[in-house]
Structure 1
Amino acid sequence: MTGAFQSFLEPGQIVVHPDHPEWGWGQVQSAVGERVTVNFQHQGKVLIDASQVSLSPVQKPR
């Protein structure tokens, strides 16, 4: 069942996945509703259901 979920994430933001720190940081590629595509350093592109996983925004690494 899909609700009116709105992701606070937007393209370009840097995030980490709380369950997979080994993936490194990732850059949000797109965010449409709960569907967020993130390109992670060590995992590549991953489609994430943001209603199930709370991605944590971080400062962009230097």
Structure 2
Amino acid sequence: MDKKALLTPRKVGSQQRSRAMIEALVEATARALIKEGFERANTNRIAEEAGVSIGSLYQ
């Protein structure tokens, strides 16, 4: 797979609240990886850390 394709998001938030949620998820992911490590971090923990539903994370 093309390396550039791996680094390009499939969706980009168009509204301010969408961009804020994406930023919260990225930050929560970083915190979860630091706290839990790669092996234990999971989507439920990331969603909880970000304060969003798991459905929002997947969206």
Work out whether the TM-score is over 0.5: no
Q: Which has the larger radius of gyration?
A: 2
TM-score (norm 1): 0.21
TM-score (norm 2): 0.22
By percentage of residues, which structure has more strand?
Answer: 1
